[in-house]
Amino acid sequence: MLGWKNQQVEFGIQFGDLIDGFNPKDKSETALRSVLDEFALLCKPVYHILGNHCLYNLPRNRLNEALGIHGPSSYYSFSPHQAWRFVVIDAYDVSMLGWPESHPLHQQAKAILDEKNINEVTVLHAGLIIGMCLGSLHACMCFWSHRCINFMPAHCHGLRSMRHATQPKCACSPCFFACTWILQLKMGDAF
Protein backbone atom coordinates (compact mmCIF):
# COMPACT_ATOMS: atom_id res chain seq x y z
CA MET A 1 0.00 0.00 0.00
CA LEU A 2 2.76 2.42 0.80
CA GLY A 3 4.14 2.05 -2.73
CA TRP A 4 0.76 2.95 -4.17
CA LYS A 5 0.38 5.79 -1.69
CA ASN A 6 3.73 7.18 -2.83
CA GLN A 7 2.46 7.04 -6.43
CA GLN A 8 -0.43 9.30 -5.37
CA VAL A 9 -3.26 7.04 -6.51
CA GLU A 10 -6.73 8.49 -6.08
CA PHE A 11 -8.53 5.32 -5.01
CA GLY A 12 -8.10 1.56 -4.75
CA ILE A 13 -10.17 -1.39 -5.96
CA GLN A 14 -9.98 -4.78 -4.27
CA PHE A 15 -11.26 -7.52 -6.61
CA GLY A 16 -12.26 -10.17 -4.08
CA ASP A 17 -10.79 -13.06 -2.10
CA LEU A 18 -9.70 -10.70 0.63
CA ILE A 19 -9.52 -13.72 2.95
CA ASP A 20 -8.12 -17.04 1.78
CA GLY A 21 -10.47 -20.04 1.67
CA PHE A 22 -8.01 -22.04 3.77
CA ASN A 23 -8.14 -19.44 6.54
CA PRO A 24 -9.53 -20.98 9.76
CA LYS A 25 -13.05 -19.64 10.24
CA ASP A 26 -12.37 -18.71 13.87
CA LYS A 27 -9.57 -16.41 12.66
CA SER A 28 -11.53 -14.80 9.80
CA GLU A 29 -12.42 -11.59 11.64
CA THR A 30 -8.77 -11.08 12.61
CA ALA A 31 -7.63 -11.75 9.03
CA LEU A 32 -10.22 -9.34 7.65
CA ARG A 33 -9.20 -6.61 10.09
CA SER A 34 -5.51 -7.13 9.26
CA VAL A 35 -6.08 -6.75 5.52
CA LEU A 36 -8.37 -3.74 5.95
CA ASP A 37 -5.74 -2.09 8.16
CA GLU A 38 -3.29 -2.45 5.25
CA PHE A 39 -5.77 -0.83 2.86
CA ALA A 40 -6.24 2.01 5.35
CA LEU A 41 -2.57 2.94 4.81
CA LEU A 42 -3.55 4.16 1.35
CA CYS A 43 -5.52 7.02 2.96
CA LYS A 44 -7.81 7.07 -0.08
CA PRO A 45 -11.18 5.47 -0.81
CA VAL A 46 -11.01 1.72 -1.42
CA TYR A 47 -13.85 -0.09 -3.17
CA HIS A 48 -14.38 -3.82 -2.66
CA ILE A 49 -15.82 -6.72 -4.60
CA LEU A 50 -16.83 -9.87 -2.73
CA GLY A 51 -15.04 -13.04 -3.77
CA ASN A 52 -15.99 -16.63 -3.11
CA HIS A 53 -13.18 -17.06 -0.56
CA CYS A 54 -14.50 -14.08 1.41
CA LEU A 55 -17.92 -15.72 1.48
CA TYR A 56 -16.49 -19.08 2.62
CA ASN A 57 -15.27 -17.34 5.75
CA LEU A 58 -17.82 -14.73 6.74
CA PRO A 59 -21.50 -14.03 6.08
CA ARG A 60 -22.33 -11.47 3.41
CA ASN A 61 -23.91 -9.00 5.85
CA ARG A 62 -20.75 -8.92 7.98
CA LEU A 63 -18.51 -8.48 4.91
CA ASN A 64 -20.73 -5.72 3.50
CA GLU A 65 -20.58 -3.90 6.83
CA ALA A 66 -16.79 -4.20 7.12
CA LEU A 67 -16.18 -3.24 3.49
CA GLY A 68 -18.57 -0.28 3.41
CA ILE A 69 -20.99 -1.91 0.98
CA HIS A 70 -24.43 -0.60 1.89
CA GLY A 71 -27.52 -2.76 1.70
CA PRO A 72 -28.18 -6.48 1.88
CA SER A 73 -26.85 -7.17 -1.63
CA SER A 74 -23.25 -6.64 -2.66
CA TYR A 75 -23.61 -4.84 -5.98
CA TYR A 76 -23.26 -1.09 -6.28
CA SER A 77 -21.79 1.68 -8.40
CA PHE A 78 -19.43 4.51 -7.62
CA SER A 79 -17.94 7.54 -9.36
CA PRO A 80 -14.46 8.45 -8.09
CA HIS A 81 -14.43 11.29 -10.63
CA GLN A 82 -17.31 13.04 -12.39
CA ALA A 83 -16.28 11.56 -15.76
CA TRP A 84 -16.08 7.95 -14.56
CA ARG A 85 -18.58 5.43 -13.28
CA PHE A 86 -17.77 1.94 -12.02
CA VAL A 87 -20.49 -0.70 -11.78
CA VAL A 88 -19.65 -3.48 -9.32
CA ILE A 89 -21.43 -6.75 -10.10
CA ASP A 90 -21.88 -9.39 -7.39
CA ALA A 91 -20.89 -12.67 -9.06
CA TYR A 92 -22.30 -14.58 -6.07
CA ASP A 93 -25.68 -12.85 -5.74
CA VAL A 94 -27.61 -16.08 -6.37
CA SER A 95 -25.43 -18.43 -4.38
CA MET A 96 -25.30 -20.75 -1.43
CA LEU A 97 -22.36 -18.66 -0.20
CA GLY A 98 -22.83 -15.87 2.28
CA TRP A 99 -26.62 -16.03 2.58
CA PRO A 100 -28.44 -17.79 5.43
CA GLU A 101 -29.93 -21.12 4.31
CA SER A 102 -33.43 -19.65 4.56
CA HIS A 103 -32.64 -16.69 2.24
CA PRO A 104 -34.45 -16.82 -1.14
CA LEU A 105 -31.21 -16.36 -3.12
CA HIS A 106 -29.61 -19.28 -1.26
CA GLN A 107 -32.71 -21.37 -1.94
CA GLN A 108 -32.72 -20.40 -5.63
CA ALA A 109 -29.06 -21.42 -5.98
CA LYS A 110 -29.71 -24.71 -4.20
CA ALA A 111 -32.65 -25.50 -6.50
CA ILE A 112 -30.56 -24.79 -9.61
CA LEU A 113 -27.70 -26.93 -8.32
CA ASP A 114 -30.05 -29.76 -7.39
CA GLU A 115 -31.40 -29.72 -10.95
CA LYS A 116 -28.26 -28.99 -13.00
CA ASN A 117 -25.21 -30.31 -11.13
CA ILE A 118 -24.48 -33.88 -12.22
CA ASN A 119 -21.50 -34.23 -9.86
CA GLU A 120 -21.51 -35.62 -6.38
CA VAL A 121 -21.45 -32.78 -3.87
CA THR A 122 -17.95 -33.17 -2.52
CA VAL A 123 -16.28 -31.63 0.50
CA LEU A 124 -12.99 -30.23 -0.80
CA HIS A 125 -11.16 -28.78 2.18
CA ALA A 126 -11.93 -26.94 5.39
CA GLY A 127 -15.57 -28.00 5.07
CA LEU A 128 -16.05 -26.25 1.72
CA ILE A 129 -18.54 -27.87 -0.61
CA ILE A 130 -17.79 -27.73 -4.34
CA GLY A 131 -21.32 -26.72 -5.33
CA MET A 132 -21.26 -23.77 -2.97
CA CYS A 133 -18.64 -21.88 -5.00
CA LEU A 134 -21.13 -21.25 -7.78
CA GLY A 135 -22.82 -17.93 -8.31
CA SER A 136 -25.29 -16.35 -10.66
CA LEU A 137 -26.80 -12.94 -11.22
CA HIS A 138 -30.29 -12.31 -9.90
CA ALA A 139 -32.73 -10.64 -12.30
CA CYS A 140 -32.93 -7.53 -10.06
CA MET A 141 -29.18 -7.02 -10.30
CA CYS A 142 -29.25 -7.53 -14.07
CA PHE A 143 -32.00 -4.91 -14.42
CA TRP A 144 -30.11 -2.52 -12.11
CA SER A 145 -26.80 -2.95 -13.99
CA HIS A 146 -28.46 -2.40 -17.38
CA ARG A 147 -30.00 0.82 -16.03
CA CYS A 148 -26.60 1.98 -14.74
CA ILE A 149 -25.08 1.41 -18.15
CA ASN A 150 -27.93 2.70 -20.33
CA PHE A 151 -28.77 5.79 -18.28
CA MET A 152 -25.31 7.12 -17.58
CA PRO A 153 -25.12 10.89 -16.97
CA ALA A 154 -23.98 12.91 -19.99
CA HIS A 155 -20.83 14.09 -18.20
CA CYS A 156 -19.64 10.49 -17.69
CA HIS A 157 -17.26 9.48 -20.46
CA GLY A 158 -15.97 6.25 -18.96
CA LEU A 159 -17.80 3.23 -17.65
CA ARG A 160 -16.26 0.10 -16.21
CA SER A 161 -18.11 -3.00 -15.08
CA MET A 162 -16.28 -5.12 -12.51
CA ARG A 163 -16.88 -8.48 -10.88
CA HIS A 164 -14.90 -11.20 -9.15
CA ALA A 165 -15.56 -14.05 -11.58
CA THR A 166 -15.69 -13.96 -15.36
CA GLN A 167 -19.28 -13.88 -16.58
CA PRO A 168 -20.49 -13.54 -20.17
CA LYS A 169 -23.73 -11.76 -21.12
CA CYS A 170 -25.73 -14.96 -20.57
CA ALA A 171 -24.91 -14.66 -16.85
CA CYS A 172 -28.25 -12.94 -16.36
CA SER A 173 -29.94 -16.25 -17.07
CA PRO A 174 -30.92 -17.81 -13.72
CA CYS A 175 -29.31 -21.04 -14.90
CA PHE A 176 -25.89 -19.61 -15.70
CA PHE A 177 -23.21 -20.14 -13.09
CA ALA A 178 -19.70 -18.82 -12.95
CA CYS A 179 -17.39 -21.00 -10.94
CA THR A 180 -13.80 -21.23 -9.89
CA TRP A 181 -13.72 -24.99 -10.47
CA ILE A 182 -14.81 -26.64 -13.69
CA LEU A 183 -18.05 -28.53 -13.15
CA GLN A 184 -20.00 -30.57 -15.61
CA LEU A 185 -23.50 -29.21 -15.76
CA LYS A 186 -26.42 -30.83 -17.49
CA MET A 187 -27.20 -28.71 -20.51
CA GLY A 188 -30.92 -28.00 -20.57
CA ASP A 189 -33.30 -25.84 -22.56
CA ALA A 190 -32.74 -22.94 -20.16
CA PHE A 191 -29.18 -22.56 -21.40
Q: What's the mean pLDDT in 145-163?
A: 70
**pLDDT band at residue 120, thresholds of 50, 70 and 90?**
low
Predicted pLDDT of residue 159: 64
Predicted confidence at residue 30, as pLDDT, reads: 94
Per-residue pLDDT tens over the stretch 31-86: 999 999 999 998 999 999 998 888 888 999 999 999 999 988 898 988 888 888 88
pLDDT digits (tens, 9 = 90+) for 135-146: 666 777 777 777
Per-residue confidence at 185, pLDDT binned at 50, 70, 90? very low
Across the chain, mean pLDDT equals: 74
Can you give the C-alpha Rg of the chain in angstroms?
Answer: 17
CA dist 83 → 75, 77, 138, 146 (Å): 20, 14, 28, 19
Query: Domain extents for the chain?
Result: 2-172
Q: Rounded CA gap, 131 and 87, in Å?
A: 27
The CATH number of the structural domain formed by 2-172 is: 3.60.21.10
Q: How many Å apart are CA 39 and CA 46, to the nearest integer?
A: 7
